[in-house]
Amino acid sequence: MTVPDTLDTDELHDKRQAVVDTGVAMLEQGLTKGTGGNVSGRVGDEYVAVSPSGIPYEEIESGDVPLVDLDASVVDGELDPSAETPMHTAVYRQRDDVGGIIHTHSPYASTFASLSEPIEASHYLIAYAGDKVPVAPYETYGTEELGAVAADTLGEAYNACLLENHGVLTVGETIEGAFETALMVEYCARIHYQARAIGEPTILPDEEVDRLVDRFAGYRTH
């Protein structure tokens, strides 16, 4: 297998390196354990650089990161791509605005995923994701069915969703943007959990969250 001639090799190298760096950052920030979770970035219009399967993040080098097409078929690389690659490519096929995807097992957000309960707008930073973090119904990991429900739950309105009994999926214009949203989702999940442990959190009204979503969209493009 060789890199398609149409690809910018510098862009491919940069995306592969971003996948490597972000995987390590997920561990450092407590968003996953072991080899759990995965990272991908769109390369050009038709390809995706995605974490290899089952390799400790600290051991991955940029050349180890597989390149797949939007049907999840490997076009370059010696290692198998993440088992969750079909979920990533399902989202890329649906959302032209997405350039990076992060899948985490972050503990507070995954707690709400296990409850099959959305993370509501008890903190204004929820606007990184949308008016809440919705829940995609359970499907077995690594399946096309999981990709379909994740993409459907994100739709066009959300930059994050919970995967029932599983974890979290976040998207962004870049890998870095998706990672930032993953951090904010976990933070909001922790605040929501803690607030509920003490009492009943106040949920921001829809019109205020809509205003925040618009403001954050403008802020993050500058």
- What's the CA gap between 161 and 164, in Å, rounded? 9
Provide the annotated active-site residues.
Answer: 84
pTM exceeds 0.75 for this model: yes
The two tokens of residue 106 are 């972050």
Residue 222's pLDDT is 39
Q: Confidence band (pLDDT; 50, 70, 90) for 22?
A: very high
Asked if pLDDT for residue 65 goes beyond 70, the answer is yes
Report the half-sphere exposure of 208 (CA within 13 A, side-chain side): 10
Residue 2's pLDDT is 65
Q: Which domains does the chain have, with CATH numbers?
A: 9-219 (3.40.225.10)
Asked if pLDDT for residue 106 goes beyond 80, the answer is yes
